[in-house]
Amino acid sequence: MPTFHVPGADLDVELSDEGGHPVVQLHGLTSSRHRDRLMDLDLGRGLSGTRLLRYDARGHGRSTGRAVDTDYQWTVLADDLLRLLDHWFPGEKVHGVGPSMGTGTLLHAAVREPDRFAGLTLLVPATAWATRAAKAEIYRANARLIEERGLDAFLSADLSAPRPPATAGTPDTVPDVAADLLPSLLRGAALSDLPAPEAIAALDVPTTILAWIDDPGHPVSTAQALVDLLPKASLSVAETPADLAEWPAILCDDVARHG
């Protein structure tokens, strides 16, 4: 796979070029292209006739990174995304898709350069604004846990946590991140939040938001708040694995409609 250099990291990038509309696919915190496939969050698997750019965010998967907390703030990840788009799709409007941290990255990039995006498909948006502080403290506590007691202590707690019912049947997975970088990734997430509500309200980009129930780290309340703010947004909430299985088709429809 080709690599793309950004300040402080080399990003591992994959382009599936079948012609057609450009699409960029992101992943969530501690995940990667590979891990998202295991978790049924690789919505791009249902696309054809597009130019689909997938990449591992800095510090994740096959991309490199530094043990610098601020490198993993969503605003920095948005810088990386915009550099990738300038290189692979210069001057073109793209469709962006991604879960959680990927949603945060896309929204920061879109608020900064709205003309770069033809549409967005945002999956399981994370805690934001009023609900963010408590989650940020959990990230910081987990970073300390890893540093003081090791990665296994964190994994034991993480794998024992309840999972959203829509993900029933998907395999247990572990972070696709080097252990020495994981505390910095978590602290970078703790430093991050979605753009200000008034900035999101000014974002005139067609958006579909896909959420699921019973996930405190990705509450439906964030998805609903985004729908209320965005001028052109719709919401679909998954309760079962069958609902989750519909998401790739929703992305296909979004790309066809907005492309």
178-195: pLDDT as tens digits? 999 999 999 999 999 999
Strand ranges of the sheet holding 3-6, from the earlier edge strand across to the other edge: 3-6, 9-17, 50-55, 21-25, 94-99, 117-123, 207-212, 233-238
**How confident is the model at residue 18, as a pLDDT?**
94
**How confident is the model at residue 259, as a pLDDT?**
74
**How confident is the model at residue 258, as a pLDDT?**
83
**How confident is the model at residue 158, as a pLDDT?**
79
Number of domains in the chain: 1
Buried b (16+ CB within 10 A) or exposed e, 81-100: bbebbeebbeeebbbbbbbb
Do residues 241 and 77 touch, judged by C-beta distance below 8 A?
A: no
Which residue in 127, 85, 90, 137 sits closest to 106, CA to CA?
A: 85
The alpha carbon of 156 is separated from its chain's Cα centroid by a whole number of angstroms, namely 24
**How confident is the model at residue 127, as a pLDDT?**
97
164 φ, ψ (degrees, to nearest 5): -60, 140
| 3-state DSSP assignment of residue 184 | helix
Which residue in 167, 233, 198 sits closest to 28, CA to CA?
A: 167
DSSP sequence for 118-130 = EEEEEES----GG
Tell me the residue range of the domain where 45 lies.
3-258
DSSP 196: P
Both tokens of residue 32? 């990667």
130-182: pLDDT as tens digits? 999 999 999 999 999 999 999 999 998 877 778 999 999 988 889 999 999 99
- Report the CATH number that the domain containing residue 215 is assigned in CATH: 3.40.50.1820
Do residues 128 and 194 touch, judged by C-beta distance below 8 A?
A: yes
CA distances from 232 to 108, 162, 202, 203 (A): 17, 33, 10, 9
**How confident is the model at residue 160, as a pLDDT?**
72
**How confident is the model at residue 66, as a pLDDT?**
98
What are the per-10-residue average pLDDT scores of the chain (259 residues)? Answer: 94 96 97 92 92 98 98 98 98 97 98 98 98 96 95 85 91 92 98 98 98 97 98 98 96 92
